[in-house]
Amino acid sequence: MQSLTELYKKGRGPSSSHTLAPERACRLFTEVCGVFPYYQVQLYGSLSLTGKGHGTDRVIIETLPGETEVKMCLNWDEEFPNGFYLRGLNENHIEQVKWTVFSLGGGTIRIKEYPVDFTREIYSENSWKEITEVLEHEGLSLTEYIYRHEPDLHAYLLGILDAELACVDRGLQESGILPGKLHLKRSAGDLYRASEQMSGTEKERMRMMAYAYAASEENADGHSCVTAPTLGACGVIASVCYYAVHDLGIDLDRIADALAVGGIFGNLIKQNATISGAVGGCQAEIGAAVSMAAAICAYLEGLDRRQIEYAAEIGMEHNLGLTCDPVMGYVMIPCIERNAMGVLRAYDAVLLSKYMSRIKRHLVSFDMVVHTMNETGNQIPITLKETAEGGLALEFERNR
């Protein structure tokens, strides 16, 4: 498995696959190949079908340092469904360099013509079963195992936590209308103010949803957020972090450790299935985020390793089959609301794990549910995988 620094990344919204990945590729292209007067970019797959709504063309044009033409194209004949050709042209518009870039999900890229390994393997274990065997054999805790592989990770995660908190703070303060044709009103601040009139569980749940809205609306506005594991699903873990700091008063070091624990589950999903909505549907984004968030909350609650795994498994199991159908291609409907529901599902998963694990042994392992998620994702039709051609996106168009 790869480093957790490749899972948690800061980047501009609204989509890790559609804005962060192209932004990273364009920056690298300029660093490696130099500056050209003209650029031509051809987008394929989901990048082509929902690139306009996600602002892919805007990010590419703003990142490349020359006059840039971006085309939405069909008939992509490469080995991964989501990608683009990036060409540097001279003053006579003659091609000088061409890269084939794959957007693998979560902002991770692979470049056919430039064999830099962004996906270098750090962990030799690739399943929860293999990890637990090492932990038991060597008498390690999960965080000891993670930091043994990545000694600098804790400091990195404190930086990520800082970005998560700042993102929610900004989102709570912002108001107005999100960009795009949906004219969607920002609602995080309203939800938070509503929570001040509430008490008990209702107040707690409303707060969590307000925080998820805050981060997701920042993302939808193209501002800086954290991939957790993707930008579309960034609100779930951002909410968990903010709630832990501001409502529960948990110290930052412990939350950074919890992010490491949640990250391992996200990494296993990324390794053995996908975290890309364009490949596996929304189960790969919100499902993965709920699973990771459940592990984070379970760790913060002081649950044991078996209960943490159970919480992560529940978080994913009950998002199996969740499709990706962003209305008009914007990461807004159903995405923002789905992040808010996601954070509540994560807390429910922890509650269930905590008490069910005392009653009986769970029969479905985390590894099993990840394998199922991958198989399910393969069977979801392409119209329901970030193309905005099916589901709610289609129904919305019919009723416009």
Q: Shortest Cβ distance from residue 284 to ligand SF4 (Å)?
A: 7
Position 391 contacts ligand SF4 (CB under 6 A): no
Question: Does residue 51 touch ligand SF4 according to CB under 6 A?
Answer: no
Using CB under 6 A as the criterion, what x/- string covers residues 346-365 for binding ligand SF4? --------------------
Where does this chain touch ligand SF4 (CB under 6 A) — which range of 175-183, 245-253, 259-267, 329-337? Answer: 329-337
In the list 81, 105, 106, 326, the residue contacting ligand SF4 (rule: CB under 6 A) is: 326
Kindly state the smallest distance separating residue 27's Cβ from ligand SF4, in Å.
Answer: 23
Helix/strand/coil (H, E, C) string of the chain? Answer: CECHHHCCCEEECCCHHHHHHHHHHHHHHHHHHCCCCEEEEEEECHHHHCHHHHCHHHHHHHHCCCEEEEEECCCCCCCCCCEEEEEEECCCCCEEEEEEEEEEECCEEEECCCCCCCCCECCCCCCHHHHHHHHHHHCCCHHHHHHHHCCCHHHHHHHHHHHHHHHHHHHHHCCCECCCCCCCECCHHHHHHHHCCCCHHHHHHHHHHHHHHHHHHHHHCCCEEECCCCCCCHHHHHHHHHHHHHCCCCCHHHHHHHHHHHHHHHHHHHHHCCCCHHHHCHHHCHHHHHHHHHHHHHHHCCCCHHHHHHHHHHHHHCCCCCCECCHHHCCCCCHHHHHHHHHHHHHHHHHHHHHHHHHCCCCCCHHHHHHHHHHHHHHCCHHHECCCCCHHHHHHHHCC
Cα–Cα distances in angstroms (integers) from residue 365 to residues 145, 230, 263, 309, in the given order:
20, 24, 17, 8
Listed in sequence order, the residues at least 6 apart from 154 whose beta carbon sits closer than 8 Å to its beta carbon are 147, 253, 256, 257, 260
Q: Binding residue for ligand SF4 (CB under 6 A) from 4, 101, 241, 335?
A: 335
Question: Among 260-268, 312-320, 327-335, 346-354, which window interacts with ligand SF4 (CB under 6 A)?
Answer: 327-335
237 forms part of the interface with ligand SF4 (CB under 6 A)? no
Do residues 287 and 373 lie in contact, with contact meaning Cβ atoms separated by under 8 Å?
yes
CB of 141 to ligand SF4, least distance (A): 32
Determine if 28 is a binding residue for ligand SF4 (CB under 6 A): no
- Are the CB atoms for 276 and 284 separated by under 8 Å? yes
The β-bridge partners of 371 are: none
Residue list 214-233, contact with ligand SF4 (CB under 6 A): 232-233
Which of 86, 286, 311, 314 contacts ligand SF4 by CB under 6 A?
286
Q: Is 88 in the site for ligand SF4 (CB under 6 A)?
A: no
Nearer to ligand SF4, 6 or 386 (CB): 386
When the beta carbons of 142 and 331 are compared against ligand SF4, the nearer one is: 331
In the complex, minimum distance from the CB of residue 228 to ligand SF4, in angstroms, rounded to a whole number:
12
Q: Does 282 bind ligand SF4 (CB under 6 A)?
A: yes
The answer to the question of residue 317 lying near ligand SF4 (CB under 6 A) is: no
Do residues 371 and 256 make contact, with C-beta atoms less than 8 angstroms apart? no
Segment interacting with ligand SF4 (CB under 6 A) among 27-35, 112-120, 278-286, 303-311:
278-286
Minimum CB–partner distance for residue 277 and ligand SF4 (Å): 3
> How far apart are the C-alpha atoms of 400 and 124, rounded to whole Å?
51
CB of 345 to ligand SF4, least distance (A): 14
> Interface with ligand SF4 by CB under 6 A: which range of 23-31, 60-68, 254-262, 279-287?
279-287
Q: Which is nearer to ligand SF4, 286 or 293 (CB)?
A: 286
**Number of residues this chain uses to bind ligand SF4 (CB under 6 A):** 13
Q: How far is the CB of 381 from ligand SF4 (least distance, A)?
A: 14
Residue selected from 47, 324, 350, 373 as contacting ligand SF4 according to rule CB under 6 A:
324
User: Would you count residue 373 as binding ligand SF4 (CB under 6 A)?
Assistant: no
Q: Residue 83 Cβ, how far from ligand SF4 at the closest point, in Å?
A: 17
* By CB under 6 A, residue 273 contacts ligand SF4: no
- Site residues (CB under 6 A) for ligand SF4? 232-233, 277, 282, 285-286, 324, 326, 331, 334-335, 338, 386
